[in-house]
Amino acid sequence: MPSPYRAIFGRPGTMSFSAAGFLGRLPLSMMSIGVVTMISQLTGRYGLAGALSATLALSAAVIGPQISRLVDRHGQRRVLRPATLVSLTAVAGLLLSAQQGRPDWTLFVFSAGAGCVPSIGSMIRARWAEIYRGSPRVLHTAYAWESIVDEVCFIVGPIVSIGLSTAWFPEAGPLLAAGFLAAGVFWLTAQRATEPVPQPREQRSEGSALRSPGLQVLVVTFVATGAIFGAIDVVTVAFAEEAGHKAAASLVLAVYALGSCVAGAVFGLLHLTGHAARRWVIGVGAMAVSMVPLQLTGSLPVLAVMLFVAGLAIAPTMVTTMALVEEHVPRSQLTEGMTWTSTGLAVGVALGSSAAGSVVDAAGAGRGYLVPLAAGALAALVAVAGYRRLRPRPATPSAAVAEGGPAARPRDAHSESPC
């Protein structure tokens, strides 16, 4: 492991909570595709499978920020365990209802309940932010490490979920995902030493973190960015099916995630200067431009190469996003702020998947890549238009104290920050 990554694990407990976060995040990439696989095998109804998957994603997008807001106020252990038990109960109800052939409405109710799942990635990043507050270069590497973990989850998770549901029994994928969620959350919340301490009531910011103009820009941009991801998943599966190699779609999409993983690993080694807002806009623009070559794709091997290149812009942009959230959201609302970006992505994935499916049905897989192109263009436009809101602003000492943030780390001190 390169020395900057080895250095972030120098503090006691860091390796343990990062490992717990890996387990807890695997369901993010396993549950939705597992539900689709399970329902399609049990009923043969892909429309129902897609609708349940969208219900699960949108429910998590709505409930996730509310859970994170409670975490900021009461701590991870007190909130995550009850929320996870609710989600696990709903997953159990969904699996039993599907297996017993219960009415469709029961499947939708349990899918909505399963969305009561905490944003584990936000919880882990909040721990890194607490431990390395005031050490921006080390925190930059920690955020990059977590982006690598995210991509590994999305490389491994779908393959395991689909493989188990098709080779063992239909409910196996979602069942294992629920097991990972339980193990990850209860292992994480058992680690009290690294848990961020909730801010005293008098230091908490009132209202939602989404009131921040900078966070609003990030979330709206991430809705469009999520549409890129959702559309690429659907269109790539359709493209592979038209080419007569549908099973290869998972490998091609894994290459897409691999590109992001490689870029994130390299990005974490860099010590960058300058404004994070400028790098973020460039990253979003690069993601948009990378959608252009996909319009000329003629074969699966060429598509894999193009998606690998496209993936190179993802992790660096995500790492910079987390730094910007920390910059524009009060310390007492950091977990909620990070979760809102995930919410934006989840909503975008649902919208992008739906739009791409409609285009593929109407005009074929080749035309389907117009959807991520349009989503990328929209993301770039929003990012450029919102750049002024993301630029650093000087903070008065009184404001820093009111937010519970360190006055020694003023908000315009970007010349020292790699993020």
Written as tens digits, the pLDDT of the chain (419 aa) is 457 778 888 888 899 999 999 999 888 878 877 887 788 788 877 667 777 877 888 888 888 888 888 888 888 889 999 999 999 999 999 999 988 888 889 999 999 998 888 888 889 988 988 888 878 788 888 888 888 888 788 778 877 887 788 778 888 888 999 999 999 999 999 998 888 888 666 555 566 777 888 888 999 999 999 899 888 877 887 888 788 876 677 788 888 888 988 998 888 887 777 778 888 999 999 999 999 999 888 888 999 999 999 999 998 898 888 888 878 887 777 778 888 888 888 888 878 877 887 788 788 888 889 999 999 999 999 999 998 888 765 543 333 333 333 333 333 333 333 33
Q: Is the pTM of this model over 0.95?
A: no
Q: Which residues contact 170 (CB under 8 A, 6 or more apart)?
A: 37, 38, 41, 42, 98, 99
> Furthest-apart CA pair in the chain: how many Å?
64
Fill in the DSSP letter of residue 416: G
Using DSSP's 3-state secondary structure scheme, residue 54 falls into helix
**Domains by residue range for the chain, with CATH:** 13-126+157-190 (no CATH), 208-419 (1.20.1250.20)
Nearest in space to 344 (alpha carbons), one of 256, 263, 226, 192? 226
Amino acid at residue number 312: L
| CA–CA distances in Å: residue 261 to residues 129, 199, 308 | 21, 34, 10
Name, in order, each residue with C-beta under 8 angstroms of 52's C-beta and a sequence gap of 6 or more: 35, 36, 39, 94, 107, 108, 111
- Describe the crossing of helices 46-74 and 14-43 by its angle, rounded to 10 degrees: 150
Between CA 342 and CA 380 the distance in angstroms is 18
Cα 308 to Cα 221, 252, 268, 302, distances in angstroms: 22, 9, 19, 10
